[in-house]
Amino acid sequence: MIQSATTEVVRQFWSLMATNDFDQVRAVLDENFLLEWPQSKERIRGGRQFARMNREYPAKGPWRFTINRIVGGDGEAVSDVTVTDGVQSARALSFFTIQDGKITKLVEFWPEPYPAPPGRAHLVEPLD
């Protein structure tokens, strides 16, 4: 599969996040970067605030990121990433807007896992 310039920026974003030196991530963020979390109705403006939020977020250890999938092209990309600090784990769906090789906007969804309803157990198999 050929990587687009857009998906490569997203891959670089997650690689920089994995350093846990969140100021480094600013290298791929536009000066007017905007992050939105629709579920909690929060917005973060700028790379400095983004880095600070990540530094101050309570963690039990260094953050590790597993890229499950990245798709995109023509200025937009989506990633599905599993995030863990060794104790807590979450899955994030991140929608990126990219211009001139920089991330201008990021909209993230952090869905909570839930147990499968018992009424369809005869139709499905569990994921690992």
Under DSSP, the state recorded for 49 is: H
Is 5-112 CATH 1.10.10.10? no
- Asked whether the predicted pLDDT for residue 128 surpasses 80, the reply is no
pLDDT in tens, 50-87: 999 999 999 999 999 999 999 998 999 999 999 999 99
Q: How much is the pTM?
A: 0.91
Domain ranges of the chain: 5-112
CA distance 66 to 75: 23
- Check residue 24 and report its DSSP letter: G
Question: How would residue 2 be classed by pLDDT, with cut points 50, 70 and 90?
Answer: low
In this prediction, residue 111 has a pLDDT band, given cuts at 50, 70 and 90, of very high
Question: Rounded CA gap, 102 and 100, in Å?
Answer: 6
Cα 12–chain centre separation: 12
